[in-house]
Amino acid sequence: MSIWSYANPRKFLDTTAPWVPWLMWLSALVLAVGLVWGFFFTPEAERFGSSVKIIYLHVPSALMAINAWLMMLVASLIWLIRRHHVSALAARAAAPVGMVMTLIALITGAIWGQPMWGTWWAWDPRLTSFLILFLFYLGYIALWAAIPDPDGAADLTSVLCLVGSVFAILSRYAVNFWNQGLHQGASLSLDKQENVADVFWIPLLVCMAGFVLLFLALVLLRTGTEIRARRIEALRNRARRTGAVRA
Amino acid sequence: MKALLGRDLRLAVRAGGGFGLGLAFFLIVVVLVPFGVGPEAAILARIAPGILWVAALLAALLSLDRIFALDHEDGSLPLLATAPLPMEMLALAKALAHWITTGLPLVVAAPVLGVLLHLPGQAMPWLLLSLAIGTPALSLIGTFGAALTVGLRRGGLLLSLIVLPLYVPVLIFGAEAARRGAEGLPATTPLLLLAGIGLGCVALLPFATAAALRVTLR
């Protein structure tokens, strides 16, 4: 039994649908543990004060913002190569989740940046590339929404996802280059993971796990919804056809 | 391919082809900037490379939806697809035609508009070079975006939403090269990177464009 048997929409639904509520509760539990631990039971870091605690939302959401795009890339490749509809629908389902994660990362970053850097926004390479990632999500979602034919939409968005990935990586490095040209090595970015002590690192890991579970739950749920919506559409079309034959 | 290129060029130049529209747009954007930021020569000279690059990019964007839309409307796109020419070459020819009718006039007009913005004389060759290297990439990326959105109602706005993020690396390196040229710094590194992106686009994007066209024509 290979993983490809889950490409059958019914099998996929039957397997994942019972999991979704469990995943939801599990992610809520893990997130609650991680956030409460992070917010109330870690010491305040010197230099940062209590503002450091937003890291428990900021870092996991940024992580998932990138991972969501990677997942869409893999799902798009699977759709283009093996033509499994579930894969295309999973990519479609992941996009808005990833976009919201990007938005959370940007907003929490701005809230954190205000006390730390004295500014809500700086054209720092990392910030800028996240803003560009957000634009990529927007375009991808808009293209899905604009094309009426579902298979054509899946094909075109997959191609866009592939090309977009290349250009997103290009932009990441281009932005680095551009900012060096402006700021002459003055970097605002913190090397987050290197100087984080275990006291902060472990609740952060818990929060990351919570975000991963939340992402999984949301994507499975949304993929299920997309499959059901597709099924309703097919039933409607069939009803319309048989109705036309009878009339 | 030559025949297709010639046909596209003739269509663009003759009445109703919209040739020169992008150029006029370029001019108007550049003329509007001093009204927005004030007429001081020092400020204008400092932002001139960036303004010229952004304006050229927007002007190139303006004419993208015409690349395939007219052929799609009158049904010649399926005919072109069944022609012995491979779809990838069709995409390349379309991009080339777009560049000759839009990108090349922008490159030629840029120094004149640079004078309007008090761009220092030493920056002119760098600006020209960066535009000449960068605009073909803009045309190729735009052709890909046009192929994704061909045949969609309200495709124009969607097209800009899709294409503009893809333009980011080209804009960064192009404007950086022009800016360094204006300040008398060595500008070869961004120019080389820009050329790298351009050549990568020539090599890879026609395939993506062709794939998108095949889906649209299915």
Residues of B in contact with A160 (CB under 8 A): 148, 162
Residue keyed to tokens 């839009």: B102
- pLDDT confidence tier of residue B123, bands split at 50, 70 and 90: confident
Mean pLDDT of A114-126: 79
Tell me the nearest-neighbour CA distance from B158 into chain A, angstroms.
7
Q: Nearest-CA neighbor of B175 among B61, B54, B62?
A: B54
* Average pLDDT along chain B: 88
Mean pLDDT of A55-69: 90
Interchain CB distance below 8 Å, A171 and B169 = yes
pLDDT at B15 (0 to 100): 58
Residues constituting chain A: 247
Residue B138 has pLDDT above 90, yes or no: yes
Please name every residue paired with B115 in a beta bridge, in sequence order, or none if there are none: none
> By the CB < 8 Å criterion, does B205 face chain A?
yes
A86-98 tens-digit pLDDT: 999 999 999 999 9
- pLDDT confidence tier of residue A186, bands split at 50, 70 and 90: very low
Residues of A in contact with B180 (CB under 8 A): 181
Query: Which one is predicted more confidently, B195 or A46?
Result: B195
Interchain CB distance below 8 Å, A135 and B152 = no
Q: Which two tokens stand for residue A39?
A: 């917010």
B163-186 tens-digit pLDDT: 999 999 999 999 989 988 888 888
- CA A84, B154, A66 angle in degrees (round to 5)? 45
> By the CB < 8 Å criterion, does A159 face chain B?
yes
pLDDT at A53 (0 to 100): 81
How many Cβ atoms are within 10 Å of B191's Cβ, its own excluded?
22
pLDDT at A52 (0 to 100): 74
- pLDDT confidence tier of residue A193, bands split at 50, 70 and 90: very low
Alpha helices for A147-194 (secondary structure H) = 150-183
Q: Cβ distance B151 to B216 under 8 Å?
A: yes
- Among A135, A149, A156, A165, most B C-beta atoms within 10 A, so best to mutate, is A156
> By the CB < 8 Å criterion, does A184 face chain B?
no
pLDDT at A1 (0 to 100): 58
The residue ranges of every structural domain in chain A are 64-189+214-247
Beta carbons within 8 Å of A68's beta carbon, 6+ residues apart: A94, A95, A97, A98, A101, A215
How far is Cα A223 from Cα A9, in angstroms, rounded to an integer?
10
Q: At what angle do helices A9-16 and A198-246 cross, to 10 degrees?
A: 140
Tell me the nearest-neighbour CA distance from B10 into chain A, angstroms.
30
pLDDT at A245 (0 to 100): 63
> By the CB < 8 Å criterion, does B14 face chain A?
no
For A156, the closest of B164, B205, B215 (CB atoms) is: B215
What residue of B is the nearest CA neighbor of A148? Answer: B152
pLDDT at A182 (0 to 100): 42
The residue ranges of every structural domain in chain B are 2-217
Residue A170 has pLDDT above 70, yes or no: yes
DSSP string, A30-52: HHHHHHHHHHHSSPPBTTTBGGG
A2-49 tens-digit pLDDT: 778 888 888 888 888 888 999 999 999 999 999 998 888 877 766 666
Q: Nearest-CA neighbor of A101 among A65, A55, A54, A126?
A: A65
pLDDT at A142 (0 to 100): 93
Per DSSP, B204 falls in state H
pLDDT at A192 (0 to 100): 46
For A163, the closest of B144, B161, B190 (CB atoms) is: B144
Residues of B in contact with A147 (CB under 8 A): 152
For B166, the closest of A142, A146, A167 (CB atoms) is: A167
pLDDT at A195 (0 to 100): 53
> By the CB < 8 Å criterion, does A203 face chain B?
no
- pLDDT confidence tier of residue B85, bands split at 50, 70 and 90: confident
For B168, the closest of A146, A152, A174 (CB atoms) is: A174
Please name every residue paired with A45 in a beta bridge, in sequence order, or none if there are none: A49
> By the CB < 8 Å criterion, does B47 face chain A?
no
Residue A191 has pLDDT above 60, yes or no: no
Residue A184 has pLDDT above 80, yes or no: no
- CA B162, B165, B170 angle in degrees (round to 5)? 125
Q: Which of residues 135-164 of B touch A (CB under 8 A)?
A: 144, 148-149, 152, 154-155, 158, 161-162, 164
Residues of A in contact with B161 (CB under 8 A): 135, 138-139, 142
Mean pLDDT of B51-76: 87
Interchain CB distance below 8 Å, B165 and A170 = no
What residue of A is the nearest CA neighbor of B153? Answer: A146
Tell me the nearest-neighbour CA distance from B174 into chain A, angstroms.
10
pLDDT at B32 (0 to 100): 92
What residue of B is the nearest CA neighbor of A173? Answer: B169
B22-57 tens-digit pLDDT: 888 899 999 999 999 888 888 888 889 999 999 999
A209-223 tens-digit pLDDT: 999 999 999 999 999
For B172, the closest of A152, A160, A174 (CB atoms) is: A174
Interchain CB distance below 8 Å, A164 and B205 = no
Residue A190 has pLDDT above 60, yes or no: no
- pLDDT confidence tier of residue A76, bands split at 50, 70 and 90: very high
Mean pLDDT of B181-194: 87
Percent of all residues in chain A with a pLDDT value above 90, rounded to a whole number: 45
- pLDDT confidence tier of residue A197, bands split at 50, 70 and 90: low
Interchain CB distance below 8 Å, B165 and A155 = no
How far is Cα A16 from Cα A2, in angstroms, rounded to an integer?
16
pLDDT at A173 (0 to 100): 83
